[in-house]
Amino acid sequence: MASASRPSLQNPLQQNRPTGSFSQPGILVALAEPPMRYVDGAMMDYFLIEAVNTLRESSQVAIARSKRIEREMVEAGLLPLVSSFTRPDVTSPKSSPRESSTNLNSTTRTGAGGKATGSPVDEEEEALRVRLEAIGLHVGSNFTERLCADRGLFTETLDAIKFICKDLWTSFWNKQVDNLRTNHRGVYVLQDNSFHTISRLSSWHGRAEALKRAKTYTAMPAGIIKGALTRLGYQTVTVTPEINNLPQCTFQVKIPRSS
């Protein structure tokens, strides 16, 4: 009888541990199929920020090198002296694009009468935009090839645009286009009311600076759309992003009727 009242020497944690815990269906399913580890959703935003900064610096270096080579060729007499090396005249009126002419590597544009109308900042931003769009062109082209691996060719242009608005948009930006308009003459307007690429973009310099930066960040998506349509067989495509109010973004796609 004395042995029956003897206190237990077992660990209290072991006494409270439930028995048969691995027999629960939820735990067995988790062990058989462990949950997927997703990449941080903000990673692509951080990557794009760093990519833009890196390409901007690279463009500045490339432009400076090109100008130095051109200046050396002018000094050596291999190229004629043009007005692109003259100091810009800030008091001169802006000329129309039809009246202006520019050297590919010049810092300023010369308008009517040889007066400069451009700025180095505009040239650097244009070089950055070209590089971002080129990257998007390759990404959109290759990714579209994977998405269309088991599909047939689109017989109608509108079907290809719908593919961009649904499948491609969902794959890149986790949603479909909010609005699609067309004049049925080769012009399509794709509107995203909350475009993911610029949804978190802002600037302490004000709204104008934020819109300017947003236009830079839409160069790569424009290249993605153009690359996708190029891979679908539309070679002469023009994609123009337009931003009037953040985070809304509109892409105007022009496809010639002959395409």
**Which has the higher per-residue pLDDT, 43 or 88?**
43
Please provide residue 10's backbone torsions phi and psi, each rounded to the nearest 5 degrees: -75, 155
**Cβ atoms 171, 143 nearer than 8 A:** yes
Q: What is the pLDDT of residue 86?
A: 42
State how far the alpha carbon of 158 is from the alpha carbons of 2, 78, 104, 126, in Å: 91, 52, 37, 31
Confidence of residue 210 (pLDDT cuts 50, 70, 90): confident
What are the start-end ranges of the H helices in 111-206?
A: 120-147, 157-163, 169-173
Report pLDDT digits (tens) over 20-65.
444 566 666 666 676 655 556 667 777 888 888 899 898 889 889 9
Euclidean distance between CA atoms 44 and 46, whole angstroms: 5
Question: What is the Cα–Cα distance from 104 to 98, expressed in whole angstroms?
Answer: 16
More confident residue, 18 or 125: 125
Helix (H, G, I), strand (E, B) or coil at 201: coil
Record the pTM: 0.67
What does the radius of gyration of the chain's CA atoms come to, in whole angstroms? 29
Q: How many CA atoms lie within 13 A of 69 on its CB side?
A: 8
pLDDT at 107: 38
List Cα–Cα distances, 170 to 162, 173, 197, in angstroms: 12, 5, 13
Query: Which residue in the block uniquely carries the two structure tokens 């694009």?
Result: 97
Spatial distance between the Cα atoms of 220 and 135, rounded to a whole number of angstroms = 7
Instruction: Give the residue extent of every domain in the chain.
Output: 156-259
Confidence (pLDDT) at 23: 54
pLDDT for residue 247 is more than 70: yes
Total number of residues shown for the chain: 259
Q: Is the peptide bond before 247 cis (omega within 30 degrees of 0)?
A: yes
Look-up: residue for tokens 């900042």? 121
The hierarchical CATH code for the domain 156-259 is: 3.30.1380.20
Give CA 248 to chain center in angstroms.
14
Question: What does the alpha-carbon distance between residue 158 and residue 182 come to, in Å, rounded to a whole number?
Answer: 9
In angstroms, the CA 207 to CA 14 distance is 63
Residue that has been written with the tokens 């067309």 in this structure:
182
Task: Report residue 94's pLDDT band, with 50, 70 and 90 as the boundaries.
Answer: very low
Alpha carbons 52 and 46: distance in angstroms, whole number: 10
Q: Residue 57 to residues 46, 80, 131, 236, 248: CA-CA distances in angstroms?
A: 17, 29, 12, 30, 28
The structure tokens listed for 196 are 């993911």
Q: Residue range 236-256: average pLDDT?
A: 93
Asked which of 96-110, 113-127, 220-234 is least confident by mean pLDDT, the reply is 96-110
